[in-house]
Amino acid sequence: MKMASGRRRRLSFLLHALLAALALLWMIPVFWLLLSSFRAEPGAYTPYLWPKGFTLDNYARLFTDTRLFNFPRWFGNTLLVAVCSCLITTVLTLMVAYVYSRLRFKSRRALMNASLVLGMFPGFMSMIAIYHFLKAVGLDQTLLALILVYSGGAALNYHIAKGFFDTIPKALDEAATLDGASKSVIFWRIILPNARPIVVNTAINAFIAPWCDFIFVSVIMKDNYDNYTVAKGLYTMVDKANIYDWYTAFCAAAVLIAVPIVLLFIRLQSFYVSGVTSGSVKG
Amino acid sequence: MQKAKRCLLRRLREADASARLSCAVMGLGCLRHGQVAKGLLYLAAEGLFIAYMACFGGRYLAKFGTLGDTAQARVWSEELQIYQRIPGDNSMLILLYSVLSIALCVLFVVIWRMNLLSACRACERARAGEKQPSLLVEARALLDERFHVTLLSAPMVSLLLFTVLPIVFMVLIAFTNFDADHQPPGSLFTWTGMTNVTDVFLGNAVKTRTFFGIFGWTMVWAVLATFTNYIFGLLLAVVINNKLVKAKKTWRTLFIIPVAIPQFVSLLLISRALEPSGAINVALMELGWIDAPLPFLLDERLARMAVVVINMWIGIPYTMMTFSGVLMNIPSELYESAEMDGAGPVRRFFSITLPYMVFVTTPQTITTFVANINNFNVIYLLTAGGPFSLDYYQAGKTDLLVTWLYKLTVDHHDYALASTIGIFIFMLVSVCSLAVYNRSRAVRKEDMFQ
């Protein structure tokens, strides 16, 4: 072993060099985004790579020039939708996961199989029906509709949380039952406090979703610019008519929303490494 | 189920008249035996249902068979000197409310059955001389032995409204001619049986060509995307997990940052960079590698290569992340004994790491494969399905089935065709998922590596 230490050092150097090169490759679009967000010259396409001048105007413009693209308002909309749907989704998901993990009743198997089947339909297929349904009850083009749509599928995404609940020892429940606790008390006082990681994980996932979706927003909001979320708003910033004027502002806005989301995602990472895999193996 | 029903019938025959009368007047059995609140609730449910059907649902259900016959008309009014709209039927609303009404009917039958059960139980309790539990006592059971009902009711209602009913609606749409030429209320659509299915699979030359072209590419794409991500994601995970590599967590985070950025930002940025005057062409020309810009998004083969490569950029960090955990679980004794037997790192990778990973991650890989069949974001944001092709029906050369479905619905209002494709995707996905299911059961049983 010791004789090979020279070789080991060389190998270690090679591995680190390889990783550094790859990481650089992966980070290029991120640098490009940052660079464009500070670029002084307008336009999406420049015949050179390094900007001729730098400015903070792109960021300032998002908050001052709100006639066409009302970024602060979209940001508020998204925050509101994200917080509400995060609360609803987390509560619903955890309830469903707990039921399937801990309670035994006649239709349990059937319900789980039905959820499995429903999850296989492509989500886009039903969005037109959802739109007309919302229109029929007078909710189209409202933020409430978005909240409902984002939290409506919560009952199908219970797998990871259920996998986690399955690992909490049953002995805890049994001891509590002997002490006279009802199922409801067990859920609120015993299972949930023990399931902090999965609560956080579910909540972060639910919180991130509205920031990334631009499809349901397009279908539900149509041309109601005031109720757009940032994703849909940013998407319209770079269509053919606006891209020249707004490309650099788009990059600035993208940086503003990407930073918190990236931070949240990194927070998720450690859970992801262990949680996702153990969930999938257990099925 | 069969057994329970027979049981209910027999119990009903043995019960008193009030229980049997509950078939017609709900809640009567409960009222007769002193469960007033419960009985009134049942009675109210029946009243509400009848009122709904009489005032609203019935009208739509009656037209369910034809989906309406008189379209909204515009008639010239001499008196006012304008065209007046005469309201007609609206096939879309008829179908929508019919589906809703049918769902309510099913719900009503369930409640009706519950009502009979409670009536029988109340009667049996009265005969045995037991005390009838009050509504409050029964409600308390909802927090304990019937806690699942409480917890599931809210999620199930939202599931029903936002997933089940829309899916039923869209499946029905597949058997109509709801397309751009049949947009209610101006013009109605109606049932056309299997026309859409035969159009897609054999009848209509353009649609069949488009479907099979896109289906073929979808499968090629799904295989390529899954395979490249699997291999390179695994290699990256192995490299980062190597004992010699320091600051593993920092490396992982570095790869995670780019993919944590919302895809509509990163992918839109890349798609603009791929355009003829975009950054990638500028960079390549400044390096002197090419003289004229490459048409990344305009040439079929280049566009397909581009989406696969960019998808690696998105997918490899995810694969790396999920595989890292699995890699750490490989028992280190396996490696130690292999090392003692003189196996080099390459040999160890192929005879321990790879077989273990293939075994453990197969279910997850099939899930990824399914996700790639439906990988909307990468295709739609990068190429929007382009380059557009005249051979195809409203589609381009990099379109997947799911992006085609999206375009048909949102851009072209061709709902019937879109629904047919949606059902096909469902069948495709369920076959793959069935494989996962069986496979993961096998993994649970065998425990080969543990």
Q: Specify the 3-state DSSP secondary structure of B59.
A: helix
pLDDT at A281: 34
- Return the domain boundaries, chain B: 2-193, 198-446
Query: Rounded mean pLDDT of B121-127?
Result: 86
Confidence of residue B104 (pLDDT cuts 50, 70, 90): very high
Residues of chain B with pLDDT > 90, as a percent, come to 16
Tell me the pLDDT tens digit for each residue of B139-185: 888 877 788 888 888 888 888 888 899 899 989 999 988 888 888 77
Considering the domain boundaries, does residue A2 fall inside one?
Answer: no
Nearest to B117 by CA among B42, B228, B224, B216: B42
CB within 8 Å: B269 and A251: yes
Most A CBs within 10 Å, among B183, B269, B405, to test the A interface: B269
Q: What does the pLDDT read at residue A272? A: 60
Separation CA B161–CA B175 (nearest Å): 22
CATH class of B198-446: mainly alpha
Instruction: Please tell me the total count of domains within chain A.
Output: 1
Query: How much of chain B is in helix, strand and coil states, percent to nearest 5?
Result: 70, 5, 25
Contact between A212 and B143 using a beta-carbon 8 Å cutoff:
no
d(CA A223, CA B35): 54
- Pick the range with the lowest mean pLDDT from A7-16, B2-11, B356-365: B2-11
Residue A12 lies in a domain: no
Examine residue A152 and state whether it is found in any structural domain, yes or no.
Answer: yes
Nearest one of A23, A282, A10, A29 to A160, comparing CA atoms: A282
Asked if B170 reaches chain A (Cβ–Cβ under 8 Å), the answer is yes
* Closest CA–CA distance from residue B79 to any residue of chain A (Å): 33
| Chain-chain contact of B405 with A283 (C-beta, under 8 angstroms) | no
Range of the domain at A231: 57-282
Please report, for the domain that includes residue A198, its CATH number: 1.10.3720.10
Mean pLDDT value across residues B113-131 = 86
Residues 6+ apart with CB under 8 A from A68: A242
The per-residue DSSP string of B385-438 comes to TPSB-SSSSS-BTT--HHHHHHHHHHTT--HHHHHHHHHHHHHHHHHHHHHHHH
In a domain, A64, yes or no: yes
User: pLDDT averaged over chain B?
Assistant: 85
**pLDDT class for B285, splitting at 50, 70, 90?**
confident
Residue A275 confidence (pLDDT): 44
Q: Do residues B214 and B400 make contact, with C-beta atoms less than 8 angstroms apart?
A: yes
In whole angstroms, how far apart are CA B364 and each of A101, A120, B240, B355, B441?
21, 15, 21, 15, 13
Chain B, 254-293: which have a CB under 8 Å from a chain A CB? 254-258, 260-266, 268-270, 272-273, 275, 277-279, 282-283, 286
Confidence (pLDDT) at A278: 42
Cross-chain residue pair A276–B443, CB shorter than 8 Å: no
Q: Which of A140, A143, A152 has its CA nearest to residue A80?
A: A143
> What confidence tier does B6 reach under pLDDT thresholds 50, 70, 90?
low
**How does B307-344 read in b/e, with b if 16+ C-beta sit within 10 Å?**
bbebbbbbbbbbbbbbbbbbbeebeeeebeeeeeeebe
Residue B359 sits at the chain A interface (C-beta within 8 Å): no
**Is A35 a domain residue?**
no
Q: Is the pLDDT of residue B382 over 70?
A: yes
Instruction: Give percent of chain B with pLDDT exceeding 70.
Output: 96
Predicted TM-score (pTM) of this structure: 0.84
Peptide bond into B387 cis (omega under 30): yes
Winning range, highest mean pLDDT, from B75-84, B140-149, B425-434: B425-434
Q: Rounded to whole angstroms, how far apart are CA atoms A11 and B396?
A: 46
ipTM greater than cut 0.90: no
**Residue B440 banded pLDDT, cuts 50, 70, 90:** low
Q: What is the pLDDT at residue B182?
A: 82
- Residue B448 is predicted with a pLDDT of 47
* 8 Å CB contact of A120 and B430: yes
Q: How confident is the model at residue B21 (pLDDT cuts 50, 70, 90)?
A: confident
Which residues of chain B from 362 to 401 reach within 8 Å of chain A, CB to CB?
A: 363-364, 367, 374, 376
**What is the average per-residue pLDDT within B340-353?**
82
Sequential pLDDT tens for chain A (283 residues): 455 678 888 888 898 999 999 999 999 999 999 998 998 888 778 887 888 888 888 888 888 888 888 889 999 999 999 999 999 999 999 999 989 888 888 888 888 888 888 888 887 788 888 888 888 888 888 899 999 988 888 888 888 888 888 888 888 888 888 888 888 888 888 888 888 888 888 898 899 889 888 888 888 888 888 889 988 888 888 888 888 888 888 999 999 999 988 888 887 776 665 544 343 333 3
Task: Tell me which of B3-12, B253-262, B269-278, B346-355 is least confident.
Answer: B3-12
Look at B239 and A18 and tell me if their CB atoms are within 8 Å: yes
Chain A residues in contact with B95 (beta carbon < 8 A)? none
User: Of B143, B166, B324, which is closest to A129 when you measure between CB atoms?
Assistant: B166
Q: Would residue B411 be called left, alpha or beta, if left means φ above 0 and alpha means ψ between -120 and 50 degrees? A: alpha
Best interface-test mutation with A: which of B156, B261, B450 has the largest number of A CBs within 10 A? B261
Find the mean pLDDT for residues B296-305.
88
Decide if B183 touches A, using CB distance below 8 A: no
Let me know: does A100 contact A162? Beta carbons within 8 Å: yes
User: How far B18 CA lies from chain A's nearest CA (Å)?
Assistant: 29
Q: What is the pLDDT of residues A167-198, one digit of tens each?
A: 888 888 888 888 888 888 888 888 888 888 88
pLDDT at residue B82 is higher than 90: no
Determine the average pLDDT of the residues in B42-46: 91
Omega prior to B185 cis, within 30 of 0: yes
Q: Does B184 touch chain A (CB under 8 A)?
A: no
- Within a domain: residue A36? no
Given pLDDT bands bounded at 50, 70 and 90, which one contains residue B439?
A: low
Q: What is the mean pLDDT of chain A?
A: 84
Stretch among A271-280, B399-408, B440-449 having the lowest mean pLDDT: A271-280
Asked if residue B450 lies in contact with residue B398, where contact means CB atoms within 8 angstroms, the answer is no
Tell if the CB–CB gap between B155 and A274 is shorter than 8 Å: no
